[in-house]
A and B are shown apart, each in its own frame.
Chain A
Amino acid sequence: MLQSVVQVILAGLSTGMFIWLVASGLTLIFGVLGVLNFAHGSFYMLGAYFCFTVLKYMGANFWLGLILGPLCVCVIGFIVERFFLRYVYHIALPYQLLLTFAFVLIFDNLVKIVWGAGSISPPALAALGGSVDVLGRKFPIYNILIIVVGPLVALALWGMIEKTWWGRIIRASSSDREMASAIGVRVPALFTSVFVFGTWLGALGGGLAVPYVGIMTSGMGETIIIEAFIVAVIGGLGSLKGAFVGALVIGVLTAFGTRFFPTFDMFLTFILMAGILLWRPQGLFGVAR
Chain B
Amino acid sequence: MKLKSWQMALVVLSLLALVGVGLFSGRFMIYLAMRVMILAIFALGYNLLLGQTGLLSFGHGAFYAAGAYGLGFFGLHLSSHPLLGLLAAVVLAAVLALIIGFFCVRHTEIYFAMLTLAFGMMVFSLLWSAREVTGGDDGLVGIMRDPVSFFGLLEIPIGKDRQYYFLVLAVFVLSAWAVQRIRLSPLGLALSGIRENANRAEFAGLSVKNYRLAVFVISGAFAGLAGGLETLLESNARPFMAHWGHSAEPILVSLLGGLQTFAGPLAGSVIFIAMREMVQRFTENWMLWFGIVLLVIIMGFRGGVVGVFQRLIGQAGGGR
Chain A residues packing against B (C-beta within 8 Å): 30, 36, 38, 84, 87-88, 91-95, 97-99, 101-106, 108-110, 112-113, 222, 226, 229-230, 232-233, 237, 263-267, 270, 273-274, 277-278, 281, 289
CA distance A91 to B285 in the complex (A): 30
B54: Cβ under 8 A from any A Cβ: yes
B58 surroundings in chain A (CB, below 8 A)? 101
- Taking CB atoms and an 8 Å cut-off, the chain B residues in 114-165 that contact chain A are 114-115, 117-119, 121-122, 125-126, 129-131
By Cβ-Cβ distance, the 3 closest A-B pairs, closest first, are A105-B291, A106-B291, A109-B288
Partner pick for A104 among B110, B111, B291, B298, CB 8 A cutoff: B291
CA distance A271 to B309 in the complex (A): 47
Partner pick for B115 among A84, A112, A233, CB 8 A cutoff: A233
B287 surroundings in chain A (CB, below 8 A)? 105-106, 108-109
- Given that A98-B251, A105-B287, A237-B110 are known contacts, is A226 also in contact with B117, CB under 8 Å in the complex? yes
- Given that A91-B302, A108-B287, A109-B287 are known contacts, is A233 also in contact with B114, CB under 8 Å in the complex? yes
**Please, could you name 6 A-B residue pairs with CB atoms under 8 Å apart, sorted by A?**
A94-B109, A98-B294, A101-B248, A109-B285, A109-B287, A112-B285
A233 surroundings in chain B (CB, below 8 A)? 111, 114-115, 118
- Chain B's interface size range is 35 or more
B295: Cβ under 8 A from any A Cβ: yes
CA distance A123 to B288 in the complex (A): 29
B108: Cβ under 8 A from any A Cβ: yes
A103 surroundings in chain B (CB, below 8 A)? 291, 295
CA distance A110 to B111 in the complex (A): 28
Interface SS of B by simple majority: helix
CA distance A37 to B315 in the complex (A): 37
Interface SS of A by simple majority: helix
Closest to A91 in B: B302
B65: Cβ under 8 A from any A Cβ: no
- Given that A98-B251, A105-B287 are known contacts, is A270 also in contact with B118, CB under 8 Å in the complex? yes
CA distance A230 to B116 in the complex (A): 11
CA distance A277 to B248 in the complex (A): 25
Q: Shortest CB–CB separation between residue A273 and chain B, in angstroms? A: 7
Partner pick for B129 among A93, A95, A263, CB 8 A cutoff: A263
Contact B119 A270 (CB under 8 A): yes
Closest to B131 in A: A263
CA distance A99 to B291 in the complex (A): 9
A102 surroundings in chain B (CB, below 8 A)? 291-292, 294-295, 298
Q: Shortest CB–CB separation between residue B120 and chain A, in angstroms? A: 9
Q: A109-B287, A277-B103 are in contact. List 14 more A-B contacts (CB 8 A).
A: A93-B56, A97-B110, A101-B58, A101-B294, A102-B295, A105-B291, A106-B295, A110-B288, A229-B114, A229-B118, A233-B115, A270-B118, A273-B118, A274-B103
Partner pick for B292 among A101, A106, A278, CB 8 A cutoff: A106
A230 surroundings in chain B (CB, below 8 A)? 118
Contact A93 B114 (CB under 8 A): no
Which of A38, A88, A101 has the most chain B CB within a 10 Å cutoff? Answer: A101
CA distance A99 to B248 in the complex (A): 12
B211: Cβ under 8 A from any A Cβ: no
CA distance A104 to B129 in the complex (A): 24
Contact A88 B298 (CB under 8 A): yes
- Given that A101-B294, A109-B288 are known contacts, is A264 also in contact with B129, CB under 8 Å in the complex? yes
Partner pick for B299 among A87, A97, A278, CB 8 A cutoff: A87
B118 surroundings in chain A (CB, below 8 A)? 226, 229-230, 233, 270, 273
A98 surroundings in chain B (CB, below 8 A)? 56, 251, 255, 294, 298
Contact with A along B245-279 (1 / 0, CB 8 A): 10010010001000000000000000000000000
B21: Cβ under 8 A from any A Cβ: no
CA distance A281 to B114 in the complex (A): 14
Contact A105 B302 (CB under 8 A): no
A264 surroundings in chain B (CB, below 8 A)? 126, 129-130
CA distance A231 to B245 in the complex (A): 22
Q: Shortest CB–CB separation between residue A281 and chain B, in angstroms? A: 7
B18: Cβ under 8 A from any A Cβ: no
Contact B113 A97 (CB under 8 A): yes
CA distance A45 to B211 in the complex (A): 39
